[in-house]
Amino acid sequence: MFESVLKKRNAAVMPALRLFGRKWLAASDDLVFPCLFEICFRLVWLALISCVMNNYWITTEKCAEGGLAVRIYMIGTLALIGINLILLVALVNRSAQGSITDTHARRHVAPLLVCKFLLILPELGFNIFGTIWAFCDLIQCTTDHKYSKTVVEGIVVFNWVVFALIIFGLALIFDPLGSAKYKKSRDNNDNNGPTESAMHRKVSNLWLRRFRWIFCCLRKDEFGHEAFTQVASLLSALFRGTDLTPSDIMASCILLRVRQKRETREMRRIRMLNDDGPRYSSDVLRVFATSPSWMTLKNARHFKRFAMASYGWPLVCYMHCCTGPFRLIKKSICCACFRSKAQVVIDDNCCLCNVAGVKYMSRMRNEDVLHASFTNHVFELPFCVLADHSTKSIVISIRGSLSMRDIFTDLTANAERFDAPGMPPDSAAHRGMIAGAERLIKRLQEGHILDRAFNTYPEYTLVLCGHSLGAGVAILVGARFRSKYSDLRVYAYATPAGLLSREAARRTESFAFTIGVGDDFVMRLGIESIENLRTSIIETLRACKFPKWRIMLNGVGYVFFGVPSRDLEKTWKDVTDIETSIKEGGDPLLSERHVQTIATSSGEATVLSKEISLRRFSKTRLFTGGRILHIIRRKKTELEKKSNTGGPTYEMRWATAEDFTELKIMPRMLLDHFPDNIFKTLTTVLEQQKTTSASITSLNSL
C-alpha cells in the first residue's frame, strides 16, 4: 500500500548526506557555516591573486623561460577561485533551506558537492605548479616585486593546509557502515531478524575496534576487553536504526532545552491551578521531622568531606587552582617511597600526594589514615579507610569517576543479578558497579582491613560514603555488609539513576542517605533515560520548523541571554503538520527498516511506542538507591526581586526514585554534579539555618 510512497521518497529518507554511493556522518544542512568560512578565505585569495596579476603580468612577458606557464597559472587560479565562490554561495543557499527533516528542500546539495570535489583535481595540479614556481628554480621568471612572490608562496602553503584539512574532515565524517553495497544487501534481505542481528554485530565490532585503538592503554586491564565489549554493545543498541549525525545531536540538545522549558512552564501552570505539585520547603526542621536521627544535613556535610577526600590531590588543585600545590606541600612527605610508612598506602606517588589530598580534605591526621588504595583499573576504584574520632566512625570513602577507566565502569550499565542479605531474590543492579563493589570487598577482606580497624576501635561504627560512581558502589557494598554491621550507614552524593531494581532500591532506604542538588544529570542518567532521550531527540527534531543553522545561532544566544519566551512557541510545527509528514513518507531520522514501521502506523503515539518497544538494551529498569533528599535553588518572589531582599537560597524535599527517570537538558546539569558544588550547597543551607535560628531566638527574647 505504501510501496509507491516509499519508493518516491527513498532518496530523501535519510538526513545523513549521501555522496559517491555511500552515507556519511554529516547532513546536507551542515554546510552553511563551513562554506561561509571558506567564502571569506576565498575572497581574500581572490583579492591577493588579482593584485599579483596586476603587478606581475607585464614581467611574465620578459621572462627568459616559463612566462607563459606563469600566466596560465595565474589565470587558472583566478578562474578556479571564482568558480569555487559561485559553488560555495550556491551550497550555502541550498544547505540553509528547509527544516532538519525536510531533506527534499536540500536535494541539490549533493550534486553541488560533487562539482566542488571535482575541482580539487585541477586545484591540486595548479598548486603543484605554484609550489615549483615559488620554491624551486626551474622557472626563470624573477622580479623585483617581493610582494608578488610572498603572496604566491603564502597562497601555495595555505592551499596545502586546506587540502590537509579536507582529508582530515573526510576522515572524521567517514561512516564505515555507509557502504551502498552493504546497504543494498540489507534491503534485499527479506528476513528482518538476521539482518538486524548482523547490523548490530557489525556496529558493535566497529565500536570495539575504535575502543581498542583509542584506549590502547586499557588493554592491559584484567577486565578491559569485557568493558569494551559491553560498552560497544550498548552504543550500537542506542544508535541502531537511526541516521542521526553529530550535528543533529547538538541541535537536538538546544531544542530539548527549549522544549523542556516550555513543558516546565505548562506544568507549573497546571500545578498552580490544581495545587498538586511537589512540595519543596526551606524549613529544614520541617523536612527532617520524620527522618532517622542520623539523616541530618550536618552529618551529610561532615561526611561529604570524606567523599571528596578520596579524589586526592586532583580535587584540591581543582578547587584551589593557584594555591592547591602549596596546600598539599604541608601534608605531603618528600621521598616517602624510601621511608617506612605508618599506614598502608597502595599505588601513590613518591611524595604521597594523593594521601596529602586525603588528609587535607578530610582534616585527618597521618595516623588516622588506616588504609589508602589508589589503584585504578576498569571495575576497580580507589578508596581509603579513615578513623573519624569526632563521630566515632570507621569511614570507607570511595572515589567517583575521574579517569577513562572509571568511564568504562560507568558505561557497563546493563542490569545483572545482585545478591545481598536482606535483598529480594530477583534483585538486579548496575553491572559495572557490582564488579567495582566486589573488587573493593575483596581488597578489604584480603588485607583484613576492617577487622584490624575495629580491633583498634571496637566501639566505632561503619560508615560508607562516595560521590557519583563511588556513591553507587558504596550503596552496593553497604547492602553486602549490612548483615555483618547492623548499624552501618551510607552517605551517597549524586548517586547515578541506573543503580538498583525498584524493590531493591526501596530496601536501601533504611541505611543509605542520598543527596542530590538541582539539575544534576548523573542522578537522571541510566540506560532507560538515555533510550527515552534518544526517542525525544527524534520527536523534537521532527517537530522543529527552523533550519539547523538558525538553531545553532539561537543556541549561542541562549547561552548568554537565556531562552526568550517567544521561542517556546514559535520553534515548533503544528501537530497536524507532524502527523501529515509521518503518514506521507516516514521519519527522515530513522533508517529504511524503521520507515516501514512508521508508514504502517496510524499516528505519532504509535510510532513512538513501537520505537521504544523495539529497541531496548535492558529489560530490567534500574533506579537510584537510598532515601533521596533533593535540594534546589529557591526562586525569589516578585516582592523579593523588587525590594532586592534575600531569603533562603535553597529549598528541599524528600524525593522518590521515579522523580529522576527523565534526563533533562539544563544549563547547570553538569555544574550541579561537581562534588565541590554539593559541599557548598550543604554549607550554605546550614549557615542559613543557623542565621534563621538566631533570628528566631532573638525575637523570642524580645
Task: Give residues with Cβ within 8 angstroms of 613, minimum separation 6.
Answer: none
The answer to the question of residue 491 being in a domain is yes
The answer to the question of residue 610 being in a domain is no
Confidence of residue 182 (pLDDT cuts 50, 70, 90): very low
CB 631 within 8 A of CB 681: yes
Given phi > 0 = left and psi -120 to 50 = alpha, else beta, which region is 352? left
CB 48 within 8 A of CB 263: no
pLDDT the model gives residue 594: 44
Domain that holds residue 293: 284-526
CA distances from 514 to 35, 89, 381, 464, 682 (A): 50, 56, 20, 12, 13
CB 497 within 8 A of CB 525: yes
Reported as a single tens digit per residue, the pLDDT across 423-456 is: 999 899 999 999 999 999 999 999 899 999 999 9
CB 495 within 8 A of CB 473: no
Do 408 and 291 have their domain in common?
yes
The answer to the question of residue 560 being in a domain is no
What's the whole-number mean pLDDT along residues 487-508? 94
How would you write 65-97 as a 3-class SS string? CCHHHHHHHHHHHHHHHHHHHHHHHHHHHHHCC
Task: Give residues with Cβ within 8 angstroms of 584, minimum separation 6.
Answer: 5, 9
Q: How many residues does the chain have?
A: 702
Structure-block grid coordinates of residue 336: 616517602
Do 158 and 289 have their domain in common?
no
Do 307 and 444 have their domain in common?
yes
pLDDT the model gives residue 613: 43
Confidence of residue 577 (pLDDT cuts 50, 70, 90): very low
pLDDT the model gives residue 340: 55
Look at residues 175, 203, 238 and tell me which one is the last residue of a structural domain. Answer: 175
Q: Say how many Å lie between the first and final Cα of the chain, rounded.
A: 84
Do 498 and 355 have their domain in common?
yes
Reported as a single tens digit per residue, the pLDDT across 125-143 is: 988 888 887 777 666 566 5
Judging by beta carbons within 10 Å of its beta carbon (0-12, 13-18, 19+), is residue 132 exposed, middle or buried? middle
If one counts the domains in the chain, the total is 2
Q: State what percent of residues in the chain have pLDDT above 90.
A: 38
pLDDT the model gives residue 351: 81
Do 170 and 312 have their domain in common?
no
The answer to the question of residue 532 being in a domain is no
The answer to the question of residue 570 being in a domain is no
Do 155 and 304 have their domain in common?
no
**For residue 8, how many other CB atoms are within 10 A of its CB?**
12
Name which residue leads in pLDDT, 249 or 613.
249
The answer to the question of residue 164 being in a domain is yes
In this prediction the pTM is 0.82
Q: Does the pLDDT value for residue 420 go beyond 90?
A: yes
Q: Which stretch of 84-93, 241-250, 500-509 has the lowest confidence by average pLDDT? A: 241-250
Do 319 and 458 have their domain in common?
yes
Judging by beta carbons within 10 Å of its beta carbon (0-12, 13-18, 19+), is residue 494 exposed, middle or buried? buried
Q: Which stretch of 283-297, 313-327, 329-343, 372-386 has the lowest confidence by average pLDDT? A: 329-343
Distance from CA of residue 448 to its chain's centroid? Answer: 39
Q: Name residue, grid cell 571564482.
A: 82
Confidence of residue 512 (pLDDT cuts 50, 70, 90): very high
Task: Give residues with Cβ within 8 angstroms of 25, minimum separation 6.
Answer: 16, 172, 173, 174, 175, 178, 245, 246
What's the whole-number mean pLDDT along residues 204-220? 72
Name which residue leads in pLDDT, 205 or 194.
205
Q: Which stretch of 225-239, 276-290, 312-326, 634-648 has the lowest confidence by average pLDDT? A: 634-648
CA angle 446, 451, 452 (to 5 degrees): 100
Q: Does the pLDDT value for residue 68 go beyond 80?
A: no
Q: Does the pLDDT value for residue 573 go beyond 90?
A: no
> Which one-letter DSSP state was computed for residue 653?
E
CA distances from 22 to 172, 177, 178, 199, 581 (A): 15, 9, 5, 16, 25
Among 42, 40, 62, which Cα is nearest to 145's? 62
What's the whole-number mean pLDDT along residues 56-72? 69
Judging by beta carbons within 10 Å of its beta carbon (0-12, 13-18, 19+), is residue 574 exposed, middle or buried? exposed
Q: Does the pLDDT value for residue 77 go beyond 80?
A: yes
Among 454, 462, 482, 299, which Cα is nearest to 393's? 462
Dihedral (Cα; 359, 363, 366, 370), 10-degree rounding: -80
Name which residue leads in pLDDT, 351 or 420.
420
pLDDT the model gives residue 141: 61
**For residue 236, how many other CB atoms are within 10 A of its CB?**
20
Name which residue leads in pLDDT, 394 or 145.
394
Query: If you average pLDDT over every residue of the chain, what do you get?
Result: 81
Do 337 and 481 have their domain in common?
yes
What's the whole-number mean pLDDT along residues 343-368? 87
Q: Does the pLDDT value for residue 589 go beyond 80?
A: no
pLDDT the model gives residue 654: 95
Do 306 and 158 have their domain in common?
no
Name which residue leads in pLDDT, 107 or 648.
107
What's the whole-number mean pLDDT along residues 458-467? 96
Task: Give residues with Cβ within 8 angstroms of 365, minimum separation 6.
Answer: 359
Confidence of residue 586 (pLDDT cuts 50, 70, 90): very low
Judging by beta carbons within 10 Å of its beta carbon (0-12, 13-18, 19+), is residue 438 exposed, middle or buried? middle
**607-636: buried (b, 16+ CB within 10 Å) or exposed (e) per residue?**
bbeebeeebebbebbbbbbbbbbbbbebee
Reported as a single tens digit per residue, the pLDDT across 259-317 is: 888 888 887 777 666 655 678 888 888 999 989 999 999 999 999 999 999 999 999 99
Look at residues 126, 156, 175 and tell me which one is the last residue of a structural domain. Answer: 175
Judging by beta carbons within 10 Å of its beta carbon (0-12, 13-18, 19+), is residue 415 exposed, middle or buried? buried
Q: Which stretch of 205-219, 221-235, 412-426, 628-642 has the lowest confidence by average pLDDT? A: 205-219
Do 460 and 315 have their domain in common?
yes
Among 214, 197, 206, 195, which Cα is nearest to 232's? 206
Q: Does the pLDDT value for residue 637 go beyond 50?
A: yes
* DSSP class per residue in 196-209: HHHHHHHHHHHHHH
Q: Does the pLDDT value for residue 542 go beyond 80?
A: yes
Among 617, 572, 540, which Cα is nearest to 204's? 617
pLDDT the model gives residue 695: 65
Look at residues 175, 208, 225 and tell me which one is the last residue of a structural domain. Answer: 175
Q: Does the pLDDT value for residue 9 go beyond 90?
A: no
Here the CATH number for the domain that contains residue 402 is 3.40.50.1820
The answer to the question of residue 99 being in a domain is yes
Do 356 and 505 have their domain in common?
yes
Name which residue leads in pLDDT, 410 or 53.
410
Q: Does the pLDDT value for residue 584 go beyond 80?
A: no
What's the whole-number mean pLDDT along residues 190-207? 62
Q: Does the pLDDT value for residue 696 go beyond 70?
A: no
Reported as a single tens digit per residue, the pLDDT across 476-486 is: 999 999 999 98
CB 16 within 8 A of CB 245: yes
Among 646, 654, 624, 637, which Cα is nearest to 284's? 654
pLDDT the model gives residue 566: 85
Do 363 and 487 have their domain in common?
yes
pLDDT the model gives residue 11: 34
The answer to the question of residue 57 being in a domain is yes
pLDDT the model gives residue 60: 66
pLDDT the model gives residue 191: 46
Reported as a single tens digit per residue, the pLDDT across 649-688 is: 899 999 999 999 888 888 889 999 999 999 999 999 999 8
